[in-house]
Amino acid sequence: MAGGNAASTLNMAVGATFVLSGFVHLALLERSANILAFRMPNVLFSFAMGLLILTFGMYGRVSGGLPHDNPYWRRRHPEQAAREERRREEIAAGERRREETAAGERRAAPGAETAHARPAVRGGTAAGARGVAGGARELRGHAAPGERP
């Protein structure tokens, strides 16, 4: 099964053939050379289908503002595409270095591991340390109706 460039090129060729067929049969209307007995609806159908198929073939390929990651743009501008790819790789390498440096600094900071290991205690009770909603009520000494104090 064909895809990518081959499908796009084939669609453009078939679409152009339909449009050309429409013009030829338009010229042959009301003539003895019209052996297929084409009429105006057939000509309009050829034009419409030709333009539709041609449009599908050009989709993503022909535009004034193709994005730089588009394969057709990359093929038309190989030097600039290579420069942009190198620049993206440099940026990615710099980000990896920054992440590695930041991770190393976090490990080297005193008390970094223990800060994550200690639970945060709210209100100084075990319920508050576990994050239980009734922890604050336990501090006040009373609970809501239906709760155990």
pLDDT digits over 57-102, tens only? 888 677 667 778 878 788 888 898 899 889 999 999 999 988 888 8
**CA–CA separation, 102 and 55 (whole Å):** 50
The tokens describing 106, both together, are 């976090």
pLDDT value of position 110: 61
pLDDT tens column, 79-90: 988 998 899 999
Residue type at 125 in one-letter notation: T
Percent of the chain with pLDDT strictly greater than 70: 67
- CA 54, CA 58: separation in Å to the nearest integer? 6
Closest to 4 (Cα-Cα) out of 44, 42, 61: 61
